[in-house]
Structure 1
Amino acid sequence: MKQIRLAVFSLIIIVLSGCGSAKHGREALLSQDIGEYYKAIEKYKKARKKEKDRTKRIEYAYNIAECYRAIGQYDYAAQNYKFAIRLGYPAPEALLHYANMLRITQKFEEATETYRTYLDSVPGDTRALEGIEAMRKTQEWVANPTRHIINPIKEINKTGSDFAPVFVGGRDNEIIFTSSRKSSTGKKESMITGQAYTDLFRATFSVQRQKWEEPKLLDQNLIINTGDEEGAATLNSTGEQMIFTRCRYDKAQAMGAELYSTSQSRGSWSDPIKVQVIGDSLTAAHPALSPDGSMLYFVSDKPGGQGGKDIWRAPAEGGTFGKAVNLGAAINTEGDEMFPFVRDNDELYFASNGHIGMGGFDIFKAIEDENGVWKVENMGSPMNSSADDFGIAFVTGENKGMFSSNRKGSRGDDIYSFLVPPKIYQVEGEIFDKETNSKLDGATVRIIGTDGTNLKMRAQNGKFKMKLKPETEYIFAAYKDGFLRDKAAANTIGLDDSRDFRFEMYLTPTDAPIKVDNINYEFGSWELLESSKVALDTLVQILVFNPTITIELMAHTDHVGSDQFNFDLSQKRAQSVVDYLIEKGINPDRLVAKGYGETWPKTITRKMANQYDFLKRNDELTEEFILKLTPAQQEIATAINRRTEFRVLSTDFIEKFDAEPEK
């Protein structure tokens, strides 16, 4: 983000060794030390232009890069790091920072090469290894975006910086946010960002116009907004109490950031009172009240943290707050963690440039378990980008809200809306004739769900479509006269995202024998091989799913051997299949075993003709036909004739159950 956020936060002091002899160099170093990065850049540029000493010019170039990095102008930072490195800046740290800027601006190949060069000088450096991992994760997040829909709020965003929105009373029709727009009361130019001082503004949504009205200063009486900088606020659940950040200045010198509390009555705000959560000489900013008001989260660089700016929290004690506690290493890093927000389900959201992310600052979600252990998760794309993303807020009870970003297309720090649409589940099925592979019109689909759904629908042109309910299992059964049924299933239980279920169902016509694949016997025997039972279990399922059909099990042999031997063998093989099906619980009244020996040669189907180029559809594999083939083709043809099939004899079987015996 364009580091206007720094103007409503404590100024980080970056201590650098050495001091230039020229006036501009000394002034630039002083400005950088106290966090006036914008002013420092201008001074360094003047100093570099006049400086003749090569060593100092290299140092100025590096310091300019550091200042650009601090205010989030990563392209300019990259250019100046590159310049300093080319001139011979001695510390390898420049390579690491340059690689980070290349990564943030998504120049991944060059960034990878630069990280590796740095690792040659500083083997195993965790920061470089995490930078490489961040590139891998970034590409993964972009390739697998979340369901968030984001849009800039054009009516609110102006030239300058608009950021850190909070919803008044948790409702979606009114926000308070921070802005450096021209209508702010702070007319001075920030030494940190070069922009005007920030103020708090209010915007309301017009239901009639279906757009946001022109934002106005939160406080026309200038009780909240002053000649100093105000911003980064939080509200209690009713919107009547507000805690906000104020960065005071004395003769243009920053005095640090502080938290102030005020309350609203009949549209007027009370005089702000300083909130004592840390010592007077320390800084605090970016407040966030928990939904029940029992805890105040805030950001500070006070001693006892993990490094940089950390998130702390302090319990409410009457009208004050108790001892602040650092959220620990799971949340806070050596980098900066800022802009906390606590959702009404107690999830913590914050921005960080220390955790592995996509750009400068990313938004993270953190959940604390009953043992006080935090689980932190990057919100991924599109919520995060290669730029700075921060300052999120949710509407109470809903999966939507706003956040801040200076991503591509922004005019500085802009406010974006986000919405996670409701999860939608739907199924789309196609029904085919298994023999012809063409769509089957006029089939009926029965749908049964664990939520009590029990309905029928007619497939039109071989297709059907319907919406499904969450947390439900469904079975779809397709059937049509003259065909065996087929089924499919869909399950929405535990799904985090919307999903479209698509499947194909194949109904087998019953006007011709149906081959059962992979039924094999011992050579010259009717004993079923163990491997055949898997295929026969499929046949059991067909009979269970089609409870009104009776079938004839048909066993066939090839022409090798005597007619009588082949007939007897095929009959026994058919009976073996019937016996197996009976063992599996199929009513014997539904089964007829019939051996045909070699008397019923196979007629080639369209599917088989596509499989074997020497066969055509409707070819009959008689002995005479087979003997005209090559030896290799004869072997295939005789194997085709050795088969087990079934054909449907009737479709009106009704299972009869024995009456309960009298006692």
Structure 2
Amino acid sequence: MPNKYSIVFMFILSVIMSSCGAEQNVKKGDKFFALGEYYDAANQYKTAYSRTPLNERSLRGKRALKMAGCYRKINFTQRAIAAYLNAIRYKQTDSLTSLNLGMLYLKDGNYKEAEKTFNDILKYNHNNDLAKEGLESAKEAPLKKMSPSSYIIKRTDELNSRRADYSPMFYGEEYNQLYFTSTRNQAQGDELSGITGTKNGDIFFCQKDDKGNWGKIQTIESGLNSVQDEGACSFTPDCHTMYLTKCDNDPQYPRYATICSSNRSDASWGKPTNLEITKDTLSSYAHPAISPDGKWLYFTSDMPGGLGGLDIWRVRLTTNGLGGVENLGSPINTPGDEEFPTFRPNGDLYFSSNGHVGLGGLDIYIARQDTDSNKWKIEHPGYPLNSQGDDFGMTFEGLHNRGYFSSNRGDAHGWDHIYSFEKPEVIQTVKGWVYEKEAYELSSAMVRMVGNDGTNLKLNVKGDGSFTQEIHPNVDYVFLATCKGFLNHKEQLRVAPVKESTEYVLQFPLASITAPVLIDNIFYDFNKATLTSESTKALDELTNLLNENPNITIELRAHCDYRGSSAYNKILSQKRAESVANYLISKGIAKDRLSPVGYGKDRPKIIRKRLTEKYPWLKESDVLSADFISHLDKDKQEICNQINRRTEFIVLRTTYGIFDKYGNFKNLPQAHTLKEDNKQNNKDLF
């Protein structure tokens, strides 16, 4: 039987051993914390806390405080609150304890305790801006939840896993592909992150099927993902470049987020390359977002020069690299954290913050820039888009106020999941297509959009030659499409009020300056030069084209098929070309701008690629000569004869009426202010 002295000795020894073990846990925890590995640090601090004797109240309080800081970082809200309360109970707190606890109460939806906590802070520190914002949030949040907005929110289970899924982003012009970040089991690597306790994030994507349902979640089989942490991506308007956040693991160095770019080639994404925004290597750069015009890269950073915590910054994207870095300043940025910027295509900036009045955690806010003052105005979209949890990472399905976002609302692990959102609203849009007559889209075109409400925009078209733009009721719009090497084309649109969302479609077929342009739907009486009534529409369109391009002269070309004598066809085609010219002259087109020529059957049609889609048995550059046609079936022969019987025009000059008889400009351009130029542009287009 052991005596009482040996029992005391064993007890003292066990206390000493436990104390030594706890100190080792704290040292390990401190090392993990310094590296930003908060999950591993929390486990070490928890073990140290449990090994600390109850009578060592001061030490238990300090270790509880360390544990609370880690749990707060990894969104273990309930555990963080309990740890902070223990630190307070043991009277071991720092200057931020009460503020962090109040923020956690907000995030937990415990608004009464949050209000009490912030009131206590303000009794001793009247100028604490974050406490003021927190107190206002605690008071207003219950009222906002009682008066929800019209947003419809649904958890998108087909996109989510048993781990974290967040930062969705549409890709492509049809909005049928969705990229997002996930720590699911399919992510690369086998090790668990010391930050979250899950696998490092990878970027995944999925695609809608013909019925509009999301298909299987797919990994990206290229050098884009790695065993490191990748996520929160954004795409340039042309969809050729992806910007993403990347965090590298280094067991001896803190983990700082960096922004990388990846180029798309042969339908796959290349290995990311680091983007050096500044020379600062001790700050984080994350959450890239490209502005709708593709000229700015917005991002989140804690670099010096901000307003506190994480701020939203931007840097100009140029053909020569990155321009200067700008902080968006107040009222967007606050002493709290502003993160996850993203854009609705109409130019509205969406971001998440815990420094503005909200419902708790990160709330989504909308920033709109006033065109006159250039100042930002901030709007809180309310509940249920926002919740007491973290809400962030919006992506929009075109101009409509619907899409996807991420939130950790209601998740005990603090893991994020993807939700759909829609705010029913009436949106009127115009979709235009700019293309070459008889050919394909003109991706280098530009469209000038002018409205009698003061609208004056330059719209760049996408790779398929299209553009989409929001328009407003009771406004008259004029759209002028231009492209180097082509004539201008103008369309007008009067927008009336509607009761449901409506899209108007406009076509902009541009005529080449260098190649013959077919005048569709020109018809003559059989074996005569008399124009039929069915030709009026096409000829009126040609009249408009000449009026829109008053400095051009054209040659009107009439052609016949190979049947009949050359002399007869020459005479007939000449008369037909003159009939077209006479019609245009009757509509006010100057005679000296028109040169009618009949070519008879001397110039058979040369097939262009677009026509081969309608007639697959024809090939590009085929010449519809008599010999070529004679080897075809009878029905194909008739089609070719119809193609050859055509009326075209080709531009001869683009300087008509510009010079006087001495070769000088008739009207020299005058210097105007920008305001005067805008007025003149409106006048010219209308």
TM class by smaller structure: 0.5 to 0.7
3-state SS of 1:211 partner: coil
Q: CA deviation at 1:51?
A: 2.6
The question of whether the paired residues in 1 share the 8 Å contact of 2:35 and 2:253 is answered with no
Following TM superposition, by how much is the alpha carbon of 1:329 offset from its aligned partner in structure 2, in angstroms?
2.4
Matched AA of 1:32: F
Could you tell me which residue of structure 2 aligns to residue 49 of structure 1? 50
Report the CA distance between 1:196 and its aligned residue. Answer: 0.5
> Are positions 1:184 and 2:187 aligned together?
yes
Question: Could you tell me the TM-score, scaled by structure 2's length?
Answer: 0.57
Quote how far apart the aligned CAs of 1:256 are: 1.9
Q: Check if 1:421 corresponds to 2:408.
A: no
**Contact 1:184 1:197 (8 Å CA) reproduced:** yes
> 1:242 maps to which residue?
242
Give the stretch that moved more between structures: 166-175 or 400-409. Answer: 166-175
Structure-1 residue corresponding to 2:73: 70
Provide Cα deviations, 1:55-75, integer angstroms capped at 9, x if missing partner. Answer: 121011112111111222222
In the alignment, residue 140 of structure 1 is paired with which amino acid? L
Determine helix, strand or coil for the equivalent of 2:153.
strand
Q: Does 1:303 find its partner at 2:325?
A: no
CA contact (8 A) 1:278 1:284 kept: no
Give CA deviations for 1:159-212 in whole Å, capped at 9, x if unaligned.
11110011012543211110100001133211111110000001111233x421
Matched letter for residue 330 of structure 1? P
Aligned to 2:648: none
* Corresponding residue number in structure 1 for 2:215: 213
Distance 2:106 2:407 in 1: 18
1:204-260 Cα shifts (integer Å, max 9, x gaps):
11233x421121112xx4400011111111011232211111111234855422222
**Distance of aligned partners of 1:161 and 1:252 in 2 relative to their CA distance in 1, 3 Å threshold:** farther
* Higher mean displacement: 184-193 or 345-354: 184-193
1:89 aligns with 2:92: yes
1:116-170 Cα deviation digits (max 9, x unpaired): 3333444453333322210222123212222111111111100111100110125
SS at match of 2:225: coil
Contact 1:170–1:237 under 8 Å retained in 2 = no
| Secondary structure, counterpart of 1:140 in structure 2 | helix
Candidates 132, 136, 144, aligned match of 2:135 = 132
1:330-349 to 2 correspondence within 5 Å?
330-349=331-350
- SS of the residue 1:324 aligns to: strand
Match for residue 357 of structure 2?
356
Q: What residue in structure 1 maps to residue 229 of structure 2?
A: 229
- Relative to structure 1, is the Cα distance of residues 49 and 496 closer, same or farther in structure 2, using a 3 angstrom cutoff? farther
* Equivalent AA in structure 2 for residue 373 of structure 1: K
Q: Distance in 2 between matches of 1:403 and 1:30?
A: 34
Sort the Cα spacing of 1:250 and 1:66 in 2 relative to 1 into closer, same or farther, 3 A.
Answer: closer
Cα 1:293–1:124 shift into 2, 3 Å:
closer
Distance in 2 (alpha carbons) for counterparts of 1:48 and 1:100: 24
Separation in structure 2 between the aligned mates of residue 413 and residue 103 of structure 1, nearest angstrom = 18
Q: Say if 2:99 and 2:131, in contact at 8 Å, map to a contact too.
A: yes
Take 2:260 and 2:100, find their aligned partners in 1: how far apart are those partners? Answer: 36
For 2:388, give the aligned amino acid.
S
SS in 2 for 1:271: coil
The runs of 5 or more residues in structure 2 that have no matched partner are: 1-19, 428-471, 475-495, 502-686
**Preserved contact between residue 22 and residue 52 of structure 2 (Cα < 8 Å):** no
C-alpha separation in 2, matches of 1:319 and 1:206:
40
Q: Secondary structure at the match of 2:406?
A: strand
Q: Is the 8 A contact 2:167 2:181 kept in 1?
A: yes
Number of residues of Structure 1 aligned to a counterpart in Structure 2: 413
C-alpha distance in structure 2 between counterparts of 1:112 and 1:497, whole Å:
43
| Deviations, residues 613-660 of structure 1 (Å, cap 9, x unaligned) | xxxxxxxxxxxxxxxxxxxxxxxxxxxxxxxxxxxxxxxxxxxxxxxx
1:132-211 matches, within 5 Å, as 132-208=135-211, 210-211=212-213
Bigger shift: residues 370-379 or 386-395: 370-379
User: What corresponds to 1:554 in structure 2?
Assistant: none
1:33 equivalent in alignment to 2:16: no
Contact 1:186 1:229 in 2 (8 A): no
Whether the 8 Å contact between 1:169 and 1:235 is mirrored in structure 2 is no
User: Secondary structure, in 3 states, of the residue corresponding to 1:134?
Assistant: helix
C-alpha contact (below 8 Å) 1:172/1:401 kept by paired residues: no
Is the contact between residue 138 and residue 358 of structure 1 (CA under 8 Å) also seen in structure 2? Answer: yes
Change (3 A) 1:496 1:107: farther
- 2:263 is aligned with what amino acid? S
Query: Contact 1:296 / 1:316 at 8 angstroms: preserved in 2?
Result: yes
Counterparts of 2:215 and 2:134, CA distance in 1: 42
Distance 1:270 1:122, change over 3 A: closer
**How much is the aligned-residue C-alpha RMSD, in angstroms?**
2.9
Deviations 1:31-72 (A, max 9, x none): 223321111110101111223432121011112111111222
Indicate conservation of the 8 Å contact 1:275/1:320, yes or no. no
2:63 to 45, 60, 65: 60
Shift of 1:351: 0.9
Equivalent residue letter for 1:417? S
Which sections of structure 1, spanning at least 5 residues, go unmatched?
Answer: 1-18, 425-468, 472-492, 499-663
Superposition deviation, residue 325 in structure 1 = 0.7
Kindly name which structure, 1 or 2, has the bigger radius of gyration based on alpha carbons. 1
Q: Are 1:248 and 1:254, in contact at CA under 8 Å, matched by a contact in 2?
A: no
Letter aligned with residue 240 of structure 1: H
What TM-score comes out, normalization by structure 1 length? Answer: 0.58
Letter in 1 for 2:164: S
Cα distance in 2 for partners of 1:103, 1:351 equals: 15
1:267 lines up with 2:267 in the alignment = yes
CA contact (8 A) 2:61 2:89 kept: no
Structure 2 CA distance, aligned partners of 1:365 and 1:495?
Answer: 26
